[in-house]
């Protein structure tokens, strides 16, 4: 067992809260991770490693194991300095974004603004515009030599990948060699891993007004106290010796290491880490410790300070390139500094959607799961096993096995009526289906969560069930109810008073009919929506009696998005336009993934597919902006959209009392 003093010193050095050395949480991580590390060492898949795990800002696991130098019998230490390879990329990307925050650089700047001679052409001879955003997202049309066969164009042009150490090669000359090779695709059209961050490094140096190492230190490593992270190792005695995969054990790298990788070969020059004359490779040229990199990742996870603004962190964690890129296999897209998990189901990963992840060719892996407040750094001195062998996946799975089980969430679709419409043309201001009859479903949804229950929309009203021919509150719209909401709740052993929260997509009567039955529940209502519904004159389609008089201490006015249970699984999202405070509900289910309940943002599947807007919406422009937001959410998360008024969408859900999980 590590000492309490050692734990405290390491945690303080990481810039995160210290963890007590013998908590149940720490023991759980050790029980899962220690065997994974021990097995990798015993099977001689890796030579040495440093693994750090932070949860909720506390170091919950830390271990250095194996050898930093096997032949010299020098054990691995927590302060070992590693050749970072592509772990350099997020550091240089963050420096670029820090310059954006300072208004010294724009993501939409053409690269030629900063590098006038960087003008690669397409195979047909055209010279396209490459922007800073293209570089950050690896969509510039560039490539890597190690991804190409022996006679590939980058190898023919002698382009450095930033891992070798070519005597006398400058960054300017390497850029000239890159320009000499035709682009592989039109910028912005396709994701391809590349030397783009080396090019970005040159842009950062120009925009930052100093050599790249100085700019990175000024903007990133200096403010975070990352004293061991630089482009040249400051303490060679702590530098971990690199090894390459081999049988029966990894092979110590010499002056030049050649390691097969896919169709190509990675060329390493370990001495580069000690060569101050080597050009500063933004994509692969830095060295550092696991503790330093944990500081960096935790700063970003907590919101970016003191390096980046919150708005840039939001972009960092937003898919700039969708999962079609398969940046780390199915389900993975790309943000502004790393791969981004869009679809955990497709990826077959325990990580949450929105997880950032990447690695480094000297044998490293890391990820940040913002939804679980989880950061993991696993640096090894063994290529390629430590990056893309069995080891990083086993570390990931062990980390999640040590976590408490994710909350189990269930979604029930309840039958809260149907609406017979005399003229379906009312739902489009461009004339579709004018004069046609139709029927809309009017469901309610119950979300069960370990922390409580939420009713989403309250249907047409149980009183309508007693009316043989229903009622027509608005000409041309006849409400019909065949089974009461109360009776359906009873099948789940619930009374209205047992429901913790009620929220409404909006306050039209067909979504609030049973609202008075939930007088004991906390109502989550958009503030603008409530003011509008209770205003004078009464808006068409609203019955203020349904919502007036609810206890103030049980009415929670939400101006923006709202996380109902505080864990990201059930989120109310602001989507105005149909009404001033219209909302949709986004639910993350453990097996089905993300589901979006549309409210009345769409009245039919066709409205979604064609962006049709009803003429009675309060704002056409707000509606279209909300449609765009939902489309982006679907693209970025792979969410399933349920159009609530579309009978086919509702029928496709498990029939009550079955549920979606």
Q: Tell how far CA 164 is from the center of its chain.
A: 32
Report, as residue numbers or ranges, the catalytic residues: 86
Which segments of 216-320 are extended strands (E)?
Answer: 243-244, 251-252, 257-261, 264-268, 287-288
Q: Other CB atoms closer than 10 Å to residue 484's CB: what's the count?
A: 22
CA distances from 191 to 139, 141, 374, 381, 638 (A): 5, 8, 27, 29, 19
SS (H, E, C) 536-599: CCCCCCCCHHHCCCCCHHHEEEECCCEECCCCCCEEEEECCCCCCCCEEEEEEECCCEEEEECC
Element at 605 (helix H, strand E): helix 605-610
Residues 6 or more apart whose CB falls under 8 angstroms from that of 252 comprise 70, 71, 241, 242, 243
Parallel/antiparallel/unpaired status of strands 501-503 and 452-456: parallel
Rounded distance, CA 294 to CA 508, Å? 49
The dihedral through the CA atoms of 167, 293, 89, 365 has a sign that is: positive
Parallel/antiparallel/unpaired status of strands 444-449 and 438-441: unpaired
Query: Following DSSP, what letter does each residue of 95-125 receive, concatenated?
Result: HHHHHHHTTS--TT-BGGGT-TT-----TTS
């Amino acid at each position: 067992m590590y000492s309490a003093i050692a734990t405290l010193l390491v945690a303080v050095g990481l810039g995160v809260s210290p963890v007590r050395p013998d908590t149940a949480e720490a023991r759980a991580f050790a029980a899962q991770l220690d065997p994974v590390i021990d097995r990798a060492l015993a099977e001689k898949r890796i030579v040495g490693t440093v693994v750090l795990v932070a949860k909720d800002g506390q170091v919950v696991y830390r271990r250095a194991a194996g050898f930093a130098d096997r032949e010299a019998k020098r054990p691995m230490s927590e302060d070992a300095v590693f050749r970072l390879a592509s772990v350099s990329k997020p550091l240089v990307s963050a420096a670029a974004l820090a310059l954006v925050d300072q208004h010294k650089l724009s993501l939409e700047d053409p690269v030629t603004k900063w590098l006038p001679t960087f003008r690669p052409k397409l195979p047909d001879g055209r010279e396209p515009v490459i922007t800073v955003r293209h570089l950050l997202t690896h969509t510039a049309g560039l490539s890597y030599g190690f991804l190409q066969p022996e006679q590939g164009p980058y190898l023919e042009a002698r382009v450095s990948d930033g891992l070798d150490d070519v005597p006398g090669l400058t960054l300017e000359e390497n850029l000239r060699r890159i320009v000499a090779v035709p682009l592989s695709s039109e910028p912005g059209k396709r994701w391809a891993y590349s030397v783009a961050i080396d090019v970005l490094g040159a842009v950062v140096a120009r925009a930052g007004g100093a050599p790249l190492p100085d700019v990175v230190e000024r903007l990133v490593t200096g403010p975070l106290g990352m004293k061991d992270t630089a482009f040249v190792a400051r303490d060679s005695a702590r530098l971990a010796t690199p090894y390459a995969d081999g049988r029966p054990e990894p092979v110590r790298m010499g002056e030049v290491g050649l390691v097969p990788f896919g169709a190509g070969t990675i060329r390493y020059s370990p001495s580069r880490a000690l060569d101050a004359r080597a050009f500063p490779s933004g994509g692969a040229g830095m060295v550092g410790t696991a503790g330093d990199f944990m500081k960096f990742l935790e700063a970003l996870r907590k919101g970016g300070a003191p390096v980046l603004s919150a708005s840039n962190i939001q972009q960092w964690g937003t898919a700039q390139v969708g999962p079609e890129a398969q940046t780390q296999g199915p389900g993975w897209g790309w943000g502004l500094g790393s791969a981004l998990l869009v679809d955990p189901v497709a990826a077959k990963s325990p990580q949450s959607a929105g997880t950032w992840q990447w690695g480094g060719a000297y044998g490293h892996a890391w990820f940040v799961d913002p939804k679980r407040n989880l950061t993991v750094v696993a640096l090894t001195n063994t290529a390629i096993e430590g990056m893309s062998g069995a080891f990083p996946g086993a570390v990931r799975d062990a980390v999640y096995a040590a976590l408490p089980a994710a909350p189990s969430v269930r979604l029930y679709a309840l039958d809260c009526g149907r609406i017979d419409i005399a003229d379906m043309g009312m739902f489009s201001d461009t004339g579709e289906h004018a004069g046609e009859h139709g029927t809309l479903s009017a469901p309610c949804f119950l979300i069960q969560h370990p922390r409580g229950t939420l009713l989403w929309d309250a249907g047409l009203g149980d009183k309508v069930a007693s009316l043989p021919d229903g009622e027509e509150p608005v000409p041309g719209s006849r409400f019909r109810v065949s089974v009461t909401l109360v009776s359906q709740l009873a099948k789940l052993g619930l009374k209205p008073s047992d429901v913790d929260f009620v929220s409404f997509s909006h306050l039209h009567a067909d979504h609030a009919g049973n609202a008075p039955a939930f007088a004991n529940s906390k109502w989550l209502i958009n503030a603008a929506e409530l003011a509008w519904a209770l205003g004078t004159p009464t808006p068409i389609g609203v019955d203020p009696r349904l919502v007036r008089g609810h206890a103030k201490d049980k009415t929670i006015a939400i101006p923006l998005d709202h996380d109902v249970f505080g864990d990201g699984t059930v989120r109310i999202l602001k989507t105005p336009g149909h009404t001033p405070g219209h909302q949709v509900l986004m639910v993350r289910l453990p097996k089905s993934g993300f589901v979006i309940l549309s409210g009345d943002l769409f009245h039919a599947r066709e409205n979604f597919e064609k962006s049709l807007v009803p003429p009675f919406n309060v704002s056409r422009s707000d509606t279209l902006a909300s449609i765009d937001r939902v489309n982006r959410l679907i693209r970025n998360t792979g969410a399933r959209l349920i159009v609530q008024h579309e009978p086919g969408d509702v029928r496709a859900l498990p029939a009550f009392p079955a549920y979606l999980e």
